[in-house]
Structure 1
Amino acid sequence: MNRRNLLKSAIAVGLGAPLASVATATPAHAAGNYDVLVTEQVKNKVMLFRAINLWTPENLGWEWAAPAQSAWARLNDARFRETDRFGWVCMVAAGGGKVGMVNFGDDDALLWSATPGGNPHAVEYVRSHGVVVVASSESVSSALPYEGYLSVYAPTNADDPATLGSEPVDRIEYTGAHGLWWDGSFLYALGSWTLAKYRITGSLKGARLELVQKYGWPTRFDGHSLDMDFSDPSRLLLNGAQAIWSVDKADIRQLTNIRPQSPGVKSFARAVDGESFWLQSIDVTDPVPGQSRWWNEYVQFFDPTGKPSYRRGLDYYGYEGRFYRARIASTRLT
């Protein structure tokens, strides 16, 4: 692969500092002049591209392929986070049951992995405590049959992710857990019925999630992804109830519907200039009776007014990709 040089601190987001202090370090840009990290489930890879460029093999900035094991099937989530020992890593979660930490360096080694089970949909690294939190949307075992969990993994050395254990130190029942976001101060979690805000208490193996605020919907919301809003550091973006929402981090009960009539969205992101993109299930864009298809071969981009502008797929790779999630990368290609 033609490896690009990386400006690894160009737009560091939520990596141990509150987003309010990070947003000013996020450069203004022309439309599409940022990098997108996608999970692709045909080849089961994480892939990094500049949004505005054609997504050709020559323009591929970085990729990582999951091990050929059933527990690593269906990469659902990927995000860059910074660690004290290894520098930048890519946190990955697979529907088959695995999560891991990939060395975003010369060897792309799998530095740590665990098997929380239950169809992991999101994984987050909390640098201040060295803790990993996983959102699983289903029961993790016959002994733990609840429909969704937050699993907490903790290290013996907070500065060294290699000391993370393979078994969780705590689990919290959380129906349909799909989304997680750490903003440097608090961890936010999204599920089928609930949006919650936690702080991390304790240290090392004593680390736990302490509930700060919780919002529950009266009818099933089916929340999917959580992401920062690059256009407003005081807010997060989420999707559920067939719409896109903006939420005030200071009071998560304050939600604004910013894009109604948006069914089947798996992830949504908004850049600093208001340009946005989503991954919408192909069941919505190209329905086939009797089939359930949760991916799309294209990531759809929108201009700041919300009008469709361009889309990106793997047209130059000789196969139709199956993207599940797409987000603005917290590293930047040169």
Structure 2
Amino acid sequence: MTEDYLMERRTLLRGLAAAAVAAPAAAVLGQQQAQAAATANYYVGTTEQTKNKVLVFPKNKAFSDANVHWSFSPGGGAWANLSDVKFRATEAQGWIGLMVASGGKAGIVNIGSEKHTELNDLAWSATPGGNPHAIERVPGNGSVIVASSEGKLTVYAPSSVANLGSLAKVQTVDYAGAHGVLWDPTYELLWVVGKNRVSHYAVTGSKRNTRLKYGRHFSLGSGNLGHDLQPDYTNRQKMLLTATKGVYELLTDGGSFRTRRISTERSVKSYVKHSSGEVVSVKGDGTQPREWANKTVRFSASPDRTRSGAQFYKARIWTTAFQ
């Protein structure tokens, strides 16, 4: 054998040995991450459309009536089919819950000592109409934006930021298929997802002079209705959105905004990543009476949670953090 051959042989063997060590190490790391996600104990907020309630449960317990941590029950009518809930913090009221319903309504309720809230607990409500699907509040400014899937954003602004009841409609913006809306505090932009695109807006002015100013849109491709827009709590430079053709990351690092598809799974109605790395999602099961809903909330590293007779549409992490 030549000396060159022997050297190549030793190099190859060293490489194989290193790979043999690295592979188990990577597997162990993956197992540790999955275990951390599985053992993380946090709360999950849901919009459940059979009983039409916002229901918050501890992740590590059955989604039963006995384990409800907090709820909002608006009844039916214009409040039928609750379609979004977000939890936000205010200086004056502390935690608040923002909700919209496909029946046409939007509202805000204080989250305080009362465990089970109802319509009479609302601090503010309005009727944006057009099948409301998402709601967001801009911190500091105090304005509230509702995305309606029939094609509009409705902006409500306060005369006093500390007074939730002073919110009034100040602007309507056309936006085809508006389904999701999320505030990005890093770049101070309001992101919206709808028909074939995701866009950002600046929030200008204050109080009743608040207005949305269009910035830029990013294509999701034709025939691709954007659906939900949520944080990735493991990465401040990333948001997660669902659409007809799959699940996407919206990457914002360095201000160079772009999207990347991470899954081709369809009918995913909500998708969010907890700070532990665990993904919480709801997939429409395609059955009547609400094919967009499911009795099961899915967890990527823990047992799924099924509630008999339920029709969950959205699942949220019980936190006031934007990212």
User: Residues 31, 254 of structure 1: CA spacing in aligned structure 2 closer, same or farther, 3 A cutoff?
Assistant: farther
Q: 1:131 aligns with which of 143, 146, 171?
A: 143
1:116 corresponds to 2:128: yes
Give unmatched runs, 5+ long, in structure 2: 1-35
> What's the CA shift string for 1:277-301, capped at 9, x where partnerless?
2110111xxx57xx76111011111
CA contact (8 A) 2:38 2:278 kept: no
CA contact (8 A) 1:195 1:252 kept: no
Partner letter of residue 303 of structure 2?
Y
CA contact (8 A) 2:246 2:266 kept: yes
Q: 1:65 aligns with which of 60, 64, 73?
A: 73
Q: Which residue number in structure 1 is paired with residue 194 of structure 2?
A: 191
CA contact (8 A) 2:295 2:312 kept: yes
Q: Distance in 2 between matches of 1:156 and 1:295?
A: 38
RMSD between aligned residues? 1.9
Q: 2:112 aligns with which of 82, 105, 116?
A: 105
Q: 1:227 aligns with which of 230, 240, 243?
A: 230
User: 1:258 is paired with a residue of what secondary structure?
Assistant: strand
How far does residue 127 in structure 1 lie from its aligned partner after superposition?
Answer: 2.2
CA contact (8 A) 1:214 1:252 kept: no
CA contact (8 A) 2:281 2:299 kept: yes
Kindly name which structure, 1 or 2, has the bigger radius of gyration based on alpha carbons: 2
CA contact (8 A) 1:157 1:204 kept: yes
> What's the CA shift string for 1:195-235, capped at 9, x where partnerless?
11112101111101112321133412111110110121110
Q: 2:60 aligns with which of 38, 52, 57?
A: 52
TM-score w.r.t. length of structure 2 = 0.81
Describe how 1:10-29 pairs up with structure 2 within 5 A.
none
CA contact (8 A) 2:37 2:278 kept: no
1:238 corresponds to 2:241: yes
CA contact (8 A) 2:89 2:320 kept: no
Describe how 1:174-189 pairs up with structure 2 within 5 A.
174-184=175-185, 185-189=188-192
Give unmatched runs, 5+ long, in structure 1: 1-27, 139-147, 304-308
1:258 corresponds to 2:262: yes
User: 1:71 is paired with a residue of what secondary structure?
Assistant: helix
User: 1:294 is paired with a residue of what secondary structure?
Assistant: coil
How far does residue 101 in structure 1 lie from its aligned partner after superposition?
Answer: 0.1
CA contact (8 A) 1:85 1:161 kept: no
Partner letter of residue 258 of structure 1?
I
Question: Percent same amino acid among aligned pairs?
Answer: 36
User: 1:162 is paired with a residue of what secondary structure?
Assistant: helix
CA contact (8 A) 1:137 1:175 kept: yes
Q: Distance in 2 between matches of 1:201 and 1:64?
A: 32
Q: Distance in 2 between matches of 1:59 and 1:217?
A: 39
CA contact (8 A) 2:267 2:283 kept: yes
Q: Which residue number in structure 2 is paired with residue 150 of structure 1?
A: 153
Q: Distance in 1 between matches of 2:229 and 2:280?
A: 14
CA contact (8 A) 2:227 2:244 kept: no
1:211 corresponds to 2:209: no
Q: Distance in 2 between matches of 1:278 and 1:330?
A: 16
CA contact (8 A) 1:101 1:113 kept: yes
Query: Relative to total residues, which structure has the larger helix share, 1 or 2?
Result: 2
1:328 corresponds to 2:321: no
User: Residues 158, 102 of structure 1: CA spacing in aligned structure 2 closer, same or farther, 3 A cutoff?
Assistant: same
The range that moved more, 294-303 or 52-61, is 52-61
Which consecutive segments of 4 or more residues in structure 1 shift more than 6 A? Answer: none
Q: Which residue number in structure 2 is paired with residue 314 of structure 1?
A: 307
Q: Distance in 2 between matches of 1:34 and 1:204?
A: 35
CA contact (8 A) 1:215 1:252 kept: no
Q: Which residue number in structure 1 is paired with residue 298 of structure 2?
A: 300
User: Residues 30, 126 of structure 1: CA spacing in aligned structure 2 closer, same or farther, 3 A cutoff?
Assistant: same
Q: Distance in 1 between matches of 2:252 and 2:297?
A: 27
Q: Distance in 2 between matches of 1:175 and 1:220?
A: 12
User: Residues 95, 270 of structure 1: CA spacing in aligned structure 2 closer, same or farther, 3 A cutoff?
Assistant: same
User: Residues 50, 216 of structure 1: CA spacing in aligned structure 2 closer, same or farther, 3 A cutoff?
Assistant: same
TM-score w.r.t. length of structure 1 = 0.79
Q: Distance in 2 between matches of 1:298 and 1:218?
A: 30
User: Residues 252, 118 of structure 1: CA spacing in aligned structure 2 closer, same or farther, 3 A cutoff?
Assistant: farther
